[in-house]
Amino acid sequence: MSKKKQSINYLDLIPQRAETLRWHTDEATGLITLEVENTGVFNTIAQKVFHKPRTTQVHLDETGSYLWPLIDGQKTVAQLADCMKQQFGEKAEPLYPRIIKYFQIVESYHFIKFLNQ
């Protein structure tokens, strides 16, 4: 017997930022940069042999930089989408596929976790 694949309603999920992730806002542009520490055996070897940096910087775009500070562990993805719609209007369209893809990507890199998943 095969298992049924459960579909996830991303709009009901509550995202929370990873506590260990450092980030800062560029004063000139207002865009956010995430600082991800490169840990693990392979990263340590790459740092020593290939002189790779200890941290990697991930630069968020305008919409990602707007959403990032709003992720507080209390608002659902649907509430965040409403905030984004109010801020960007038609520029945010297609809103729901775009915001769901954003959260899928940041979750895959463990920048956030969903509290009620």
Read off the pTM. Answer: 0.84
* pLDDT score at 50: 84
In a domain, 116, yes or no: no
> Looking up tokens 């290939």, which residue turns up?
50
Long-range contacts of 100-103 (CB under 8 A, 24+ apart): 100/10, 100/11, 102/63, 102/64, 102/67, 103/10, 103/13, 103/15, 103/77
The residues with which 34 forms a beta bridge, in sequence order, are 23, 58
In a domain, 99, yes or no: yes
In a domain, 24, yes or no: yes
* pLDDT score at 3: 64
In a domain, 8, yes or no: no
* pLDDT score at 18: 94
Domain range for 68 is 17-110
In a domain, 10, yes or no: no
* pLDDT score at 116: 86
CATH at residue 81:
1.10.10
Give the number of domains in the chain.
1
Residues of the chain short of pLDDT 70, as ranges, are: 1-5
**CA 26 to chain CA centroid, nearest Å:** 17
Task: Say what percent of the chain tops pLDDT 70.
Answer: 96
In a domain, 33, yes or no: yes
How does the average pLDDT of the chain come out, rounded? 91
